[in-house]
Structure 1
Amino acid sequence: RFEIFALGGGSMDFGLMLRGQFEQGEDMGVRFGELMEQARLANELGFASITKGSHYSAYPLQDFQQLPFLARVAAEAPDLRLNAGIVLLSLHKPLDLAEQLASIDVMSGGRLIFGAGLGYREVEFRAFGSTQKERVKRFEENLEAVKRLWTEEKVSMKASHFELIEASCPMKPIQKPHPPIWIGANSDPGIRRAAQMGDCWYINPHNRLDTTLRQIDVYRRALDEYGKPFPQELPMRREVFVAPTRADAIRICKPFLEIKYKVYHQWGQDKAMPEGDNDLGMEFEELIRDRFLIGSPDEVSEQILTLSQDIGVNHFIMSVQWPGMPQSLVLDTMHILAEEVLPKVRQGM
């Protein structure tokens, strides 16, 4: 698999994001078969992980739900780690989530990554009986409860939206003390929370590079404050597309990537982003600048090396499909990444 040794004796893993978002009218049965083909190819090409995100009420897009999807991928891609990245933790009840995730970890032989985030969409909060105002408190309570359920035999805990009375998660995860907890965060307070409560900060795909460089300092200072070392694994997700030239890459991916970010702008993703880097409604060429990795194999490999050297990223997760993109283009992109880009990264390290 792709485990590239980096400066200082570290290594870099490469993962694939199977976003699974498609436009209305698409045959989701056909699309599911295509996603499983992508998972099998990722396994064959030596990627390290498969990531699946989560949204509810995703109109105007259609989307597969995260946990059943990953349970199926566990069988299709037996060598890959399974990143539930991210679970919208503040929406859920901790006992249900602890048992669901423990089941996937056991069923997969200990390959689960538990990605956790707040969420930002009012339609999701309301549908689950919550509000934006409650999300941080619920997130923190839920994460504490899930950890305790995974590591203790019986748990009693009274929280704002649940009560555990000698509750148990009898089937514990295989990974000890529990699966890795990656906390996704856009804002500075969220990054501090990741330092305090998570195994690492799962760096988001939307912020510009200059914002991320500033925020990695926020993260380091928070780790120092909480007396925690810099994590052995620092993951980041980015939108990635490769073609013979940057102009070709932009021309080919623009119709598909533009659809996604117009929808995210409508959903209010911008509001969850830090001041000064919170407008996803700008023109496409401005949107992608210093934000996404789009270009020739040489250009994209250099950008990945920069992320490793300047930020410390060592698990790089690539989104390579967006609404409307044909399967043949996705598979071609995966091959180019595996056969042209990642070897260049290896040489650069």
Structure 2
Amino acid sequence: MVSVRFGLSFLPDCKPEMKSPQTYFSDALELSVQAELGGLDSVKMTEHYLHHYGGYCPSPLGFLSAVAARTSSVRLITGCVLPVFHHPIQLAAEAAQLDALSGGRLDVGFARAYLPDEFDALGVPMDESNDRYRETIRAVRRIWTEENVTEQTPFFSYRDVTGRPRPTQQPHPPMWGAAVRTPENFAWLGTEGLGLLITPMISPHEFRGQLDLYRDAFQVAHGGSGLRPRVAASLPLVVAETDEQAEQIAETYLRRYLDVWAEAVSPWDRRESSAYRGYSGFGWMLRGLKPSKLFTEGGAIVGSPATVIDRIRAFNHHIGGVDQILWQIDFGAMPLPEARQTLELFCDQVLPEVKSL
């Protein structure tokens, strides 16, 4: 049996008429405090701009600072910051500040970004995103661990830089990277020694081969070093007293979640990029996806406590095992009472049965 850790994953997907920014963050902070009290290990937040999908949170570090002030033990995970839109000196310093404020509870997850409107509005060429992403991650790690750092890249340059503040965790906060479709990105994260963040959108089966790529690359680069690969999966969760009640809640709010997501990725319906193979038509795919397909094939976990226990075990088996599962429990601008019900039932009735999978 393998010990698995559990946490919460937030990504605002609110239209203002459903939840104001103030209400969204008030709810998210209440759920974060309740998660710690219920025995969960972490809280994760994602960076996005402009759209109802994620646009309420341009700064995961800002949100996690508020969580840090209200909690004492949960890990704080950026899931993810988008380094293509940040200078590495700024990103390293702001993350180290939160590491200090939280007493060394920060994990930093990075993602490449993939929404065309964000790149267009911020003036960053999409075709450069992979190189910017990798160069910025490497630069942030150097700023955290070295002094008098010099960099000369096509995207940023500086001489003899020593970052302040220094990280509280040594040599630096745990680092993660998100990967979705591109096999080379899974292998790169393994070679770099980062943890892997995934969101199995439809079925866990689709990720099993990519996880093998990641773990194999990690072993080649770091075997014998004492480092080990780490995989965290984020997916929606609904727990109710009966399967029927849970499925009714999931149908309503997963549809809203998919619709808001589809709106944000709709530029891919008329756009192509050599840096994003397979993304064209993304919006059409999401609009045609039935919510029930997610929870019948494992891309969401929905049901009574007993059903959820079985489905978590099946998910972990089909995907080949993960170290951590981060639950989206407020998707679709779900009202706080429904999200709180899921969290309470999970912590009280499910968590004791699934800590070892």
Secondary structure of residue in 2 paired with 1:138: helix
Partner of 2:273: none
CA distance in 2, matches of 1:198, 1:259: 36
CA distance in 1, matches of 2:352, 2:330: 22
Aligned equivalent of 1:285, options 279, 285, 292: 292
Give the 5 Å matches for 1:327-346: 327-346=336-355
Secondary structure of residue in 1 paired with 2:286: coil
Q: Summarize the Cα distance change of 1:154–1:101 in structure 2 as closer, same or farther, 3 Å threshold.
A: same
Partner of 2:272: none
1:69 maps to amino acid: F
Partner of 1:261: 258
1:280 maps to amino acid: L
2:211 maps to amino acid: I
Q: CA deviation at 1:207?
A: 4.7
Q: CA deviation at 1:309?
A: 4.3
Give the 5 Å matches for 1:319-334: 319-334=328-343
Q: Does 2:26 align with 1:29?
A: no
CA distance in 2, matches of 1:69, 1:215: 31
Partner of 1:117: 111
Kindly indicate whether the alpha-carbon contact (under 8 Å) linking 1:24 and 1:62 is maintained by their aligned counterparts in 2: no
Aligned equivalent of 2:326, options 317, 322, 347: 317
2:323 maps to amino acid: N
1:93 maps to amino acid: H
* Residues 3-23 of structure 1 deviation map (CA, whole Å, 9 limit, x = unaligned): xxxx1xx42211012333322
Aligned equivalent of 2:242, options 218, 227, 245: 245
Q: CA deviation at 1:221?
A: 2.8
CA distance in 1, matches of 2:39, 2:266: 32
Kindly indicate whether the alpha-carbon contact (under 8 Å) linking 2:148 and 2:160 is maintained by their aligned counterparts in 1: yes
Secondary structure of residue in 1 paired with 2:124: coil
CA distance in 2, matches of 1:100, 1:317: 24
Partner of 1:98: 92
CA distance in 2, matches of 1:61, 1:177: 31
Q: Does 2:302 align with 1:294?
A: yes
Q: CA deviation at 1:233?
A: 3.3
The percent identity for this pair of structures is 27
CA distance in 2, matches of 1:270, 1:191: 25
Q: CA deviation at 1:303?
A: 2.4
2:293 maps to amino acid: E
Q: CA deviation at 1:228?
A: 4.1
Kindly indicate whether the alpha-carbon contact (under 8 Å) linking 2:44 and 2:77 is maintained by their aligned counterparts in 1: yes
1:292 maps to amino acid: A
Give the 5 Å matches for 1:150-161: 150-161=144-155
Q: Does 2:201 align with 1:206?
A: yes
Q: CA deviation at 1:232?
A: 5.3
1:36 maps to amino acid: L
Aligned equivalent of 1:217, options 197, 208, 212: 212
2:195 maps to amino acid: C
Larger deviation, residues 17-26 vs 311-320: 17-26
1:290 maps to amino acid: G
Kindly indicate whether the alpha-carbon contact (under 8 Å) linking 1:23 and 1:323 is maintained by their aligned counterparts in 2: no
Q: Summarize the Cα distance change of 1:117–1:72 in structure 2 as closer, same or farther, 3 Å threshold.
A: same
Q: CA deviation at 1:267?
A: 2.4
Larger deviation, residues 134-143 vs 257-266: 257-266
CA distance in 2, matches of 1:264, 1:20: 10
Q: CA deviation at 1:157?
A: 0.6
CA distance in 1, matches of 2:277, 2:189: 15
Q: Summarize the Cα distance change of 1:62–1:219 in structure 2 as closer, same or farther, 3 Å threshold.
A: closer
Partner of 2:5: 13
Q: Summarize the Cα distance change of 1:54–1:228 in structure 2 as closer, same or farther, 3 Å threshold.
A: farther
TM-score (norm 1): 0.89
Number of residue-to-residue matches in the alignment: 340
Kindly indicate whether the alpha-carbon contact (under 8 Å) linking 1:207 and 1:273 is maintained by their aligned counterparts in 2: no
